[in-house]
Structure formats: structure tokens, C-alpha cells
Amino acid sequence: MCGERLFTHAFAGDSGPLCGLCRRVPPPFSRAVAYGAYQGELRDLIHLFKYQQIRPAAKLLARLLDQAVCGLELPEPLTVIAVPLWPGKRSARGFNQAEEIARAFVRFRKGTASIQLETSSLIRKRETASQTGLTRKQRRANVRGAFAVVRREKIKGRSILIVDDVMTTGTTAAECARVLLRAGAKEVYVATVARATKDQRGDSGSGLAMAAAAFPGGN
């Protein structure tokens, strides 16, 4: 969760490896997965989508996300929720990259699972400073109270999959999971396209090329 080097892309309390710090303070979500390390071609693809607004890339990123969750035995029915953006940032960017990936992911999964996208229940109720350069403790303080559930009836008793483009230390995902569980969610999982680590290992380029060949971008 904190970005320490792990020898797998999945981690959870009793069902996967955690760093020493995360063992002492277990994350509120049941499990988190990512397709690959936030580097190389994968990082470039995310930047093309997020900052240069190459919108068709959402389909490819959703495909990679789907590969990431293949190892999870996700419960059914499942509600997919993207990490929300502050309205000002969403307006400036023109879209929420996490929501676009989540939407494409749900469309990709339609017909194979009882899955639905929920876009109005989890909101970001205050703007937060950039997490870049902050310590783990500062990151937790930065996002504490930043999210809220406004439609509890859409959350209560549901299994939730939180979707985002990149996980760094996991503090944002953990805060989202915390408020969803407090609102009555049954359990929360997290899936991201990429995961930033303190010690990047491996090369995601070959896997990305294979995915691109199997699922070319474009509407």
C-alpha cells in the first residue's frame, strides 16, 4: 500500500503480502491490484490520456484494468466507483480520467458479470493539495475528510470496486474505502492501471504492446 517494493502487484491483509508498515496499520479495503508499474510505456499512455486528452486511450486502459482484476474473485453483484475529482479540476481537465476508465471497464464487462457503474454516490467535498512530495502521514491528513457518500442507499450492503488510474501510497483509495464502509458498504476492493513504487521493478512495455495488439484504441 505504501509503495515499498513487493514481489507481487496484489496485496491484502491475510490474502497477500503487505509491507511492515501496512501490516501494522491494515488498509480498510479488502484487496488492491494494479496492472503494472507506473513507468515506461504505461506511464506515457496514462499521460496521453490524462493530460493530452487522447480519449480513445480509455478503452485500452480499461482493458489493462480488466487484466489486473483477473486474479481477483470479485463478488457479484458489484458496484464500480471511480475516485472523484474536485469539480474545479474536472472542469479544467474536461473529464475525470478515473471515471472514463471505470466506464469503459464496465462496458467491457457487461454480459459477463452483474456489474454497474455508480457515479453520483461518492463525492469529493473539498479540494486537496497535491500529494507529490508529502510523507505518508501528510498524505493521510491531506485527504482526510475530502470524500463523502451522498446516496447511502446506493452503497449500503454492496460490494464496491474503487477504480483509479494510478496508486502511489494508497492513501486516497484508503480514504475512499473508509467513507464507503462507514456508509454501509459490505466490502471494498481497489483496482488501478498503474502503481508507483519506491523501487520500480520490471518492464511493463511488453505486456502493454501485447494488450495494444489485442485491443487497438479508438471509438
pLDDT surpassing 70 at residue 13: no
**What is the mean predicted confidence (pLDDT) over 107-130?**
83
The answer to whether the beta carbons of residues 17 and 8 sit under 8 Å apart is yes
**What is the mean predicted confidence (pLDDT) over 147-165?**
95
- CATH level 3 topology of 26-214: Rossmann fold (3.40.50)
**What is the mean predicted confidence (pLDDT) over 153-158?**
96
143 confidence band (pLDDT: 50, 70, 90): confident
For 50-107, the pLDDT digits (tens) are 999 899 999 999 999 999 998 888 898 999 999 999 888 888 889 999 999 999 999 9
Residue 86: closest CA among 118, 130, 55: 130
The answer to whether the beta carbons of residues 119 and 151 sit under 8 Å apart is no
Question: What distances in angstroms separate CA 112 from CA 61, 91, 154, 156, 181, one per listed residue?
Answer: 19, 33, 22, 23, 26
Residue 141: closest CA among 121, 166, 163, 169: 169
pLDDT surpassing 60 at residue 173: yes
Lowest-confidence segment of 4-13, 98-107, 118-127, 149-158 by average pLDDT: 4-13
Task: State pTM to two decimals.
Answer: 0.81
SS3 content of the chain, % helix, strand, coil (to 5): 40, 20, 45
For 176-218, the pLDDT digits (tens) are 999 999 999 999 999 999 998 765 433 444 445 444 444 443 3
The answer to whether the beta carbons of residues 153 and 124 sit under 8 Å apart is no
